[in-house]
Amino acid sequence: MSPLSPLLWVVLLNLSAPQSPPILDIQILLGSSSPQSNLTGRNYQSTEVSNLFGKHGLLHFYLVNDVTLTFSNQGSTAEVLTLPNHRTALFAYKGTGDFQHVFDFSLPDYNVKARLQAPTGRTFYQAGIKHPNGMVILKIRVRTPRK
């Protein structure tokens, strides 16, 4: 057996160990041009969200739900996210590519399908889902599970 440095053994062991699928932390927000009295107490304050969506006429933001989606393995069935108005969004983990996690995303009620690629630890948004009181915004963050 050739003498390999301990660091090389650690790297080789980490490369061979199967990685756990990432976790999606999702905040379901409602952006509205006018205050929503039925959502009092759910106000959502974020400079980033205000800057991104204020230019679209959305001035008031509300946290509708805070959800964590976990995936059992790559290619497994989709995880379902319930949206306002009893609509759904589906996320299926597809693996990694170009140092990013890959997900299939769909909104069946809107006939929308997309492939999302996101690095761990970054936040991104999916918006444009119409709602009678404004627009539904998904604030999505990818993270790795703690071991």
Share of the chain above pLDDT 70, in %: 84
Q: Give every strand in the sheet of 88-97, ordered side by side.
A: 79-82, 88-97, 100-107, 112-118
Residue 94: closest CA among 58, 142, 43, 45 = 142
Kindly give, in sequence order, each residue whose CB lies less than 8 Å from that of residue 133, ignoring residues fewer than 6 positions away: 30, 32, 36
- The Cα 122–Cα 102 span in angstroms is 13
For the chain, the structural domain boundaries read 20-143
Global pTM? 0.81
pLDDT tens per residue, range 13-71: 444 445 678 899 999 999 999 998 888 889 999 999 999 999 999 999 999 999 999 88
Token pair for residue 110? 């809107």
Backbone angles phi and psi of 44, in degrees to 5: -120, 115
pLDDT tens per residue, range 83-94: 988 889 999 999
Asked if residue 72 has pLDDT above 80, the reply is: no
Token pair for residue 78? 């989709």
Check if the beta carbon of residue 33 is closer than 8 Å to that of residue 60.
yes
